[in-house]
A and B are shown apart, each in its own frame.
Chain A
Amino acid sequence: MSNKSFKNIIKEGIRDSFIIWKEEFRNVIHDAGVIIFFIVAPFAYPLLYCFIYDNEVAKEVCMVVVDDCNTPQSREFSRLCDATRDVRIVGKASNMEEAKHMLREKKAYGIMMIPSDFSKKIVRDEKTYVVLYSDMSSLLYYKAFLVTLTDVSLEMGKDIQIERMAGLSNREQEVLTAPIEYEDVTYFNPQNGFASFLIPAVLILVIQQTMLMGIALLSGAAKDKNTYRDLLPIQRHYRGTFRIVFGKSLCYLMIYSVVAVYLLWCVPIIFSLPQMGDGFAILELIFPFLLSCIFFSLTIVSFVRDRESSFVIFIFMSLILLFLSGISWPASVVPWYWKSISYLFPSTFGIQGFIKMNTMGATLNQVSFEYTALWIQTFFYFIGAFLVFRWQIIRSEKIYRKNKHV
C-alpha cells in the first residue's frame, strides 16, 4: 500500500514538474522583457562587444616629432618609428609649442622630441636621449609609444655599438653587443589583443547576468499577477517544492543550453577568438555553471521586492563581478576580503574555468578547483532555492486559509 502511494507520488511529481516546466516556458515566451534578456541580449551583446574591440590593439597611433637635431641620424630614428606597426608619425613640428598645440587638438597623442645634441653625443661616445611625451587618455597609446621607441633605440643602439668596434671580427661584434640573447613568446593571446582577453569573460558574465535579469522579471511578473502578491500561483500543481524548483530549472536549462552553445562555441568561431579547448570538456564545465546560475538566480531573486528594482541592483553588480573574477585585475592581487566575496558568485569560477579551458587549452582535470566549486555552489544554491520556495508555499497556503475563513 505504502509502496504504491510512494510510486504515485513520484509519478505525480514528475507529471507536475513537466506541467510547471510547460507553464514557465509559456511565461517566458509571452513576456517581451524576458525575451529581451533570455534571447536578444545574449545574441546581440557579443556581436556588439566584438565589434567594439575588433581592432584588438592600438595600431598606427599618431605621434608628432620635434626634431631639433635634424641630422641623418635623427631623421633615421623617426623614420624607423614610423615604419613600425604601432606608431605613425603624423608630422614634424618646429618647436614644442606647436607640437603641444597638435596634442591639444587631438591630431596626435604623443610627442617625440629629439634634442639638438642627439648626433653630436653619438659621435662623442656619450649617451644620448630621445624624449617622449605621451597623452595618458589611454594606456594603449602609451604602450604603443613606449614599446616602439624602446625597440628602435635598442636597434639603432646596436648598430652604433657595432660601428664603434671597428677592427673586431663580425662574430666578436655580435657577441659583444649581445652576450646573452633573449626571445619572448606570448602564449594564448599572441597578438596581445583586447578582444581575445576580455570577450571570453564577458561571454560568461552575459550568461549569468541575463539569466538573473530574466528570472527576476519572471518572478516579478508572477508576484504582480498572483492573487496574494506571491511568487506562486495557488494551484494544485504548485504544491510540492521539489517539483516547482525542478520544473522551472528545467525550462531555464533548456533555453540556456542553446544560448551557451551559441555564446561559448559559435561566437569565438565567428570572431576568431582563441579557442583551444576540447568542446565536450568545456560543456562538462559549463553544465554545473548553468545549474549554479539557475539556482543562484532563483534564490536571490526572491529577496528582491519588485522586478523593476532588480534592474538597478543586478545591472549595478555586473561590472563589479567582472573585476572580481580576476581577469582584468589579476586574481593574485585581489584583497582577501573581495576574493572571499567573489566565491559567492558562479561567474567567478565560470569565467576562470572557461578561460583556462577555452583560451589556454587546459583539460577538465586542470580546472578541478573551479569545477568542484561550481558543483558545491550548485548544491548550496539548490538548497537555497528549495528553502525559498518552501517558505513561499507555506506562506501562500497560510494566507489562502486565512482568507477562506474570512
Chain B
Amino acid sequence: MVVIFRKKLWYRVWLLCIREARILASRPLYLFGMIIAPLFTALFFLTLMGKGLPQDLPIAVVDNDNSAVSRRVVRQLDAFKQTKVAMKYANFQDARRAMQEGYVYAIFYIPDNFEKDVMASRQPKFSFYMNNSYLIAGSLLYRDLRTISVLGSAAVAKEFKTARGQTEDQAMTELQPIGVDTHLIGNPLTNYSVYLCNLIIPGVYNIVIMLLTIYALGNELKRNTSRVLLRMSNNKMFVALFAKMFPHTLIYCSVITLIDVILYKFMQFPCALGIGSMLAASYSLIIASQSLAIFLFGLLPIMRLSLSAASLISVVSLSISGFTFPVSEMHYVLQCWSNFFPLRHFFLLYVDQALNGLGFEYTWHIYLALALFLFLPLVVMKSIKRVYLTYKYIP
C-alpha cells in the first residue's frame, strides 16, 4: 500500500516537472534570465576588468621648473605602470580645469626653481592633487605619486650622503630604516577583477533568480493555471512547490557550475579550498535565494507588488553584503539586517573558503544560516495555497 502511494507521489512529481519544463521552454524570458543574463554578466565584468588593475591612468603635469631634473622626474613617473602623463600644462589653472572636465585624474605640480632649490638645500616641495570623485583611480594614482615623491627625495639624499663620504649601501639603508613587507592573504595581486567578479556575477544572478522565481509563481495566477497545478499535485502545496521549483534549481545550478568553472579553472582566480567548495557555496546561495523569493511571494501574492519588493530588496543585497564597503563599518542595525540577505552569507563563505582557505569547521555556521532560509517557504505555504485556490487575477 505504502509502496504504491510512494510510486504515485513520485509519478506526480515527475509529471509536474515535465509540465514546468514545458513552461520554461515556452517563454523566452526564462531563457534570457536563466542562461543569457548570467553568462552576459560574466562576459561583461571579465572583459571590463580584463587586466585586473587599471593601467595608464591619465594625469596632468604642471612643470614650472622645466629643468633637466624635473623632466627626468616626469619621465620616470610616466614609466610607472598605472600612470600616464597625458598632458602638460603651463599653469595650474588649466590643469585644474582639465581635472574638472574629467580628462585627467590627478595633477603633479613641480614648483619654480625646483632644481636650483634642490642644489641649494632649500627643500623644494612636490605637490600632487588627486580627484577622488573617481575613488579607484584616485587611490591608485596616490600610490604612484607618493612613490615618485619619496623616490625623488631619496635619490637626492643619496647623492648628498655619498658626497659626504658614505658608501652607497650605507646611504640606501639609512634612507628607509624601516620597511613594510606586505602579504595579502588569498589575493596577492590586489587584483580588482578577482576582488569583484567572484561576487558581482553570482550577485547579479541572485537578483535574477529571485525575480524569476516570483515570476514563475505569479504566472500561475495570471494564466489561471494555479488550480491545475494543485490538482496535479493532489492538493499538496508542498509537492506542487517542490516540483515546480526543481527544474529551475537544476538549470540555475548547471549555469552557476559553468560560471565557477570559468572563474576558477579558466581564469585561474584564487580558490584556496578548490572549486568544489565554491560550488557548494553557489548551490546553497541559489536554493536560499529561491526560498526567500517564495517567501516574498507568499507575503505579497500580487505578482507586480512582490516583484517590485523583490527587485528593491535584491538590488540592496549587492551593497549590504559588504564586498564594496565592509559590513563591520556599517551601522549596527544594518549589520543585523545584512544577515537576512543570502548574498551576505555567500560573501562570507567566499572569503573563508576561497581567500582564507578555512574548512568546514569554520564555515558550518554560515551554511547553517543559508539552510535556515529553506524554512521560509514553509511559513507561507498555507497562504500561497489559499491564494492559488481562490484568487482571481485582476490586471
Contacts and interface: CB of A to CB of B under 8 A. Distances in A.
A331 B102 contact: yes
Given A194-B325, A312-B32, A323-B45, A128 B133 contact: no
Given A52-B325, A157-B178, A37 B132 contact: no
Interface in A192-210: 192, 194, 196-198, 200
A307 B304 contact: yes
Nearest to B205: A316
Nearest to A175: B121
Nearest to A225: B395
15 contacts: A52-B330, A127-B176, A134-B183, A134-B184, A136-B355, A146-B180, A157-B177, A176-B161, A183-B128, A186-B138, A194-B324, A213-B311, A315-B315, A319-B200, A320-B41
A57 B218 CA distance: 42
Interface in B101-151: 101-102, 105, 118, 121, 123-139, 142, 145-146, 149-150
Given A104-B362, A320-B41, A127 B326 contact: no
Given A36-B308, A176-B161, A319-B318, A183 B57 contact: no
A188 B133 CA distance: 6
B303 interface: yes
Interface stretch (A288-296, A354-362, A381-389): A354-362
A59 to B, nearest CB: 7
Interface residues of A, number: 112
Contact of A185 (B32, B127, B156, B308): B127
A196 B138 CA distance: 13
A189 B131 CA distance: 7
A178 B123 contact: yes
Contacts of A134: 182-185
B178 A221 contact: no
B269 interface: no
Contacts of B185: 103, 133-136
A190 B51 CA distance: 28
Interface of B: 29, 32-33, 37, 41, 44-45, 47-51, 54-58, 97, 99-102, 105, 118, 121, 123-139, 142, 145-146, 149-150, 152-153, 156-157, 160-161, 170, 172-187, 190, 192, 195, 200, 203-204, 207-208, 211-212, 215, 218-219, 222, 303-305, 307-308, 311-312, 314-316, 318-320, 322-326, 328-331, 334, 347, 351, 355-356, 358, 362, 395
A129 B320 contact: no
A401 to B, nearest CB: 25
Interface stretch (A5-13, A253-261, A333-341): A333-341
Contacts of B316: 48, 52
Contacts of B125: 180-183
A54 interface: yes
Given A164-B174, A188-B132, A197-B133, A180 B180 contact: no
B178 A153 contact: yes
B134 A138 contact: no
A126 B173 CA distance: 6
Contact of A179 (B51, B156, B304): B156
Given A161-B174, A315-B315, A181 B126 contact: yes
